[in-house]
Structure 1
């Protein structure tokens, strides 16, 4: 008993568990600050036995999910992290298109020699507002209408990742290449989602300022072209298409607040604490 307690107290005794933060669409070089923020990450990682065992991914997710700069980059950084920290159980938190890139790796073990090692170590993926079914806004951006200007800050204009997230394109990928959607094989790792259901941008409501008020206003506008249940970028049906739904925002957030697409990657309404407790 005393020996067991002594071993548990040794530094690195929990080094087997790790956490990766995988960003969404965009070419990231400092996702810690620019995509997630330290407040978000530093709360979530406290759920690990060893909070130092985490990695923040920085890749070019403006490419198709299978591209070497996207899934290839993700595979490289995850493999390096797993090897350096001797990770045996990896949990992944993704946002938006990051869920698609992660699903590509989990669904295609023979595509890259690094994929099987990642798959065998990945125990859980928590996908925040994943674009599993694509979004009509990607169709609008590709068509080159007014959405291209309105959504430039969110999508990065009509890059390959945006083209990929058109609704019909994602339907094709889900049917042929990706696991986890209805009628397809299950993913080899547990994949659960957090669904954002609305956008609030009332100037008098302090909750509208979490994640940046200007972002809320823009998402409120784009929500007019989506279903009534949406986060300003994705319909709820797209977010819940792959894996299983852990929860829809208002059922667990502080004050029953909805999470816009911007807020689901920021320190808003107790989300990081929920994630900390989940991992």
Structure 2
């Protein structure tokens, strides 16, 4: 009888502990100064689909910061840590999943790699359960080098690169190699990040005018990214080579292994509900 009562008490305790856990999801944009990332960066369709994966779908936040700055800047990591701290405190979040895109992954890695540089960082790290990094620029991109040399990319890819901002300078290949070697965790030969940093890799760009899949997210972006892919490895999303995207943390999946129709995700499509990416992420954050 005593054993039976003990088991009941333990079950009730476990149930209460689970009930007290509050899961939330944060959508963290890439390069650019955002004031309405919900509409202009992710789109409401994407955000509203993905957040259905958490028990209370109202517990989400869409970050709006100035990621044209260096990752450690007060308007970048400082802004992100402030908005995440407010979200965690106001909603009582105890289990935070961060979904990042592109350079947003670098800003989150800065926070996780430098916990003593800001009093807000430790609580954010403790609350994080995982980071799902969509097409992160962990090793930089040759296109950032090209922009800073003032060639044609500055004009043709201004919509994604930001015309030589500090964040674009930061994503030059040699600069990211230096940051990874000295200030950031998670890359080869460096300490592991304190929480899982799982990457989704975009491996190609489709822009055939007769292919309806080329129009997901906007055909004009596909055409631009198909052009810039000529300066990158065969495995790239038009902005980042696969090696860069896989350069930190662990690979969650390559696009074609899980997308509908085994379609590739361009750099633009990896922040849109293209080829069931939204439902894949929804399923991931349910775990």
Give the TM-score of the pair, scaled to structure 1. 0.96
Following superposition, the deviation at residue 14 of structure 1 comes to 6.3
Does residue 1:31 correspond to 2:46, yes or no? no
Query: Given that residues 206 and 226 in structure 2 are in contact (C-alpha distance below 8 angstroms), is that contact kept between their aligned partners in structure 1?
Result: yes
Select 1:144's aligned residue among 137, 141, 150.
150
Select 2:164's aligned residue among 150, 158, 161.
158
Query: Given that residues 21 and 95 in structure 2 are in contact (C-alpha distance below 8 angstroms), is that contact kept between their aligned partners in structure 1?
Result: no
Give the count of matched residue pairs. Answer: 273
- Per the alignment, in what secondary structure is the counterpart of residue 132 of structure 2? strand
Select 2:265's aligned residue among 259, 263, 271.
259
1:136–1:47 CA distance, 2 compared to 1 (3 A): same
> Which stretches in structure 2 are left out of the alignment for 5+ residues?
1-7
Q: Which position in structure 2 is the counterpart of 1:64?
A: 70
Q: Which position in structure 2 is the counterpart of 1:54?
A: 60
Following superposition, the deviation at residue 16 of structure 1 comes to 1.2
Give the TM-score of the pair, scaled to structure 2. 0.93
CA distance in 2, matches of 1:25, 1:235: 17
Select 1:200's aligned residue among 206, 223, 228.
206
CA distance in 1, matches of 2:55, 2:22: 9
Q: Between 117-126 and 13-22, report the one with greater CA deviation.
A: 13-22
Runs ≥4 residues deviating over 6 A: none
Q: Which position in structure 1 is the counterpart of 2:234?
A: 228
Report the RMSD for the aligned CA atoms in angstroms.
Answer: 1.5
- Per the alignment, in what secondary structure is the counterpart of residue 186 of structure 1? coil
Select 2:187's aligned residue among 151, 175, 181.
181
CA distance in 2, matches of 1:96, 1:147: 18
Q: Which position in structure 2 is the counterpart of 1:274?
A: 280
Computing the radius of gyration from Cα coordinates, the structure with the larger value is: 2
Instruction: Write the mapping of 1:201-216 to structure 2, written as runs, cut at 5 A.
Output: 201-216=207-222
CA distance in 1, matches of 2:152, 2:280: 37
Following superposition, the deviation at residue 39 of structure 1 comes to 0.8
- Per the alignment, in what secondary structure is the counterpart of residue 238 of structure 2? coil
Q: Which position in structure 2 is the counterpart of 1:77?
A: 83
- Per the alignment, in what secondary structure is the counterpart of residue 188 of structure 1? coil
Query: Given that residues 139 and 245 in structure 2 are in contact (C-alpha distance below 8 angstroms), is that contact kept between their aligned partners in structure 1?
Result: yes
The Cα offsets for residues 71-102 of structure 1, whole Å up to 9 and x where unpaired, read as 00000000000000111110000000000000
> Which stretches in structure 1 are left out of the alignment for 5+ residues?
none
Following superposition, the deviation at residue 241 of structure 1 comes to 0.4
CA distance in 1, matches of 2:224, 2:122: 40
Following superposition, the deviation at residue 57 of structure 1 comes to 0.2
CA distance in 1, matches of 2:21, 2:157: 41
- Per the alignment, in what secondary structure is the counterpart of residue 61 of structure 2? strand
Select 2:25's aligned residue among 12, 19, 42.
19
